[in-house]
Amino acid sequence: MSDNDNTGNAGNIDTSGNTPPDADPSFGFATRAIHAGARPDAVTGARSTPIYQTTAYVFEDVDHAADLFNLQTFGFIYSRLTNPTVAVLEERIANLEGGRACVCSASGHAAQFLTFFTLLEPGDEFIASRNLYGGSITQFGISFKKLGWTCHFVDPRDPENFRAALTPRCKAIFVEQLANPGAVVVDVEPIADIAHAAGIPLIVDNTVPSPYLFRPFDWGADLIVHSTTKFLSGHGNAMGGALVESGHFDWAQNDKFPSMTKPDPAYHDLTFYETFGDFGFTTKARAVALRDFGPSLSPANAFYTITGIETLPLRMQRHTENAQAVAEFLEAHPAVAWVSYPGLKSSPYRGLAKKYLPVGCGSVFTFGLKGGFEAGVKLVESVNLFSHLANLGDTRSLIIHPASTTHRQLSEAQQIAAGAGPDVIRLSVGIESVEDLIRDLDTGLRSATAD
């Protein structure tokens, strides 16, 4: 565990007499996005967080090394576990989410794996929204089965569907806010109540809104996962993932979580929840899952993500403004059958968006073409400013036809259920001049529907 991993801000004590912006809740989001977790380098005075491109760290003496390996003190051992650059990113994300601690990983999928490996035993189950990124549906529904974990998918539009799907072996509920690809707004608060009544945590994938638009912990979530590759990094140049812990879930309230409440033989029978309390889950995820499976975030990618987060508030404002204008344009276009964007007056999610997303509804959404599958293929091949690729959250505007790409591994029925049917186009609206984006889409739509 590192000095900067948000475990009590042990490595971030400010001796200057000034209150650090990650310790004072009166500082605004934009200030914390720039300063949280970071200090000028103690040796060189470098103001930007350096890239600590090193694999290992010198111990003070044998006792210091033993204390580190026994988890009796915090510090750096080996960059598969902790790295000073990555530690700054972890504390910054935890701060912006209002969480207790964070552990970063090589990708969003890796963060999900660390989460469920720490939660589940073979034979355990969990419930997930069926409106998820296609890769998450495959990870949960197919790959996790090989580990003995079963996922039950439900329609998230009615929170009671989660209650109905509960079984004695269920250990968590998982939802994605502004669910990719269709920008589905999930009613998180009652789902959190259902999870807590069952004594299990609610996990929210907050990749698409980012903490600037939505903070799941404020609405009852217990764990948050991110693909930091997307809006947090924001420039399409750095892969990464994050797992954030609220610090509020009582892992000892029942016997469902032995990995947290029973002695761990790998650490001299240490009990993670008893020893580390409100940051026990992320400590276990790092000390066991990250240690043993190794999906570590590189310090270079952490540096790019830290830099990206500094402009997150500015970017998200522009993203959402542009997306609103593009959605309104598409809704009025004769080649478009429907638009699924929560900011539109016609959206069935408009009321939930006002509750959960008052600042803006994000920039990722879908629309349907009257020409179906073939028109979708033609559109993505006809635009010029929009980039046809499998990503989102970039400064650049992106377009994809999910049925032929991100969701192609699903059956047509699964595609439709996930909001990625044959006629669906997904946009990730960037921060370019919106007039140029609208002109590019209009040209592409005319080409795609031409006889």
Q: What share of the chain has pLDDT > 70, as a percent?
A: 94
Q: How far apart are CA 128 and CA 149, in angstroms?
A: 12
Closest CA to 395 of 432, 367, 354: 432
pLDDT of the residue at 118 = 98
Model confidence at 40, in pLDDT bands (50, 70, 90)? very high
Say if residue 439's pLDDT is above 80: yes
Answer with the residue of higher pLDDT: 14 or 71: 71
| For residues 220-248, average pLDDT | 98
Domains of the chain: 29-304 (3.40.640.10), 312-448 (3.90.1150.10)
**Dihedral (Cα; 295, 301, 303, 304), 10-degree rounding:** -150
Say if residue 19's pLDDT is above 50: no
pTM score, two decimals? 0.92
Cα angle 13, 286, 76; round to 5: 45
Model confidence at 347, in pLDDT bands (50, 70, 90)? very high
Residue-wise pLDDT tens digits, 362-386: 999 999 999 888 899 899 999 999 9
Say if residue 16's pLDDT is above 50: no
| For residues 48-58, average pLDDT | 96
Q: What share of the chain has pLDDT > 90, as a percent?
A: 83
| For residues 72-100, average pLDDT | 96
Whole-Å CA distances, 378 to 173, 397, 419, 442 = 38, 18, 20, 13
| For residues 340-366, average pLDDT | 96
pLDDT of the residue at 6 = 35
Cβ–Cβ under 8 Å, residues 71 and 270: yes
pLDDT of the residue at 22 = 54
Residue-wise pLDDT tens digits, 356-368: 999 999 999 999 9
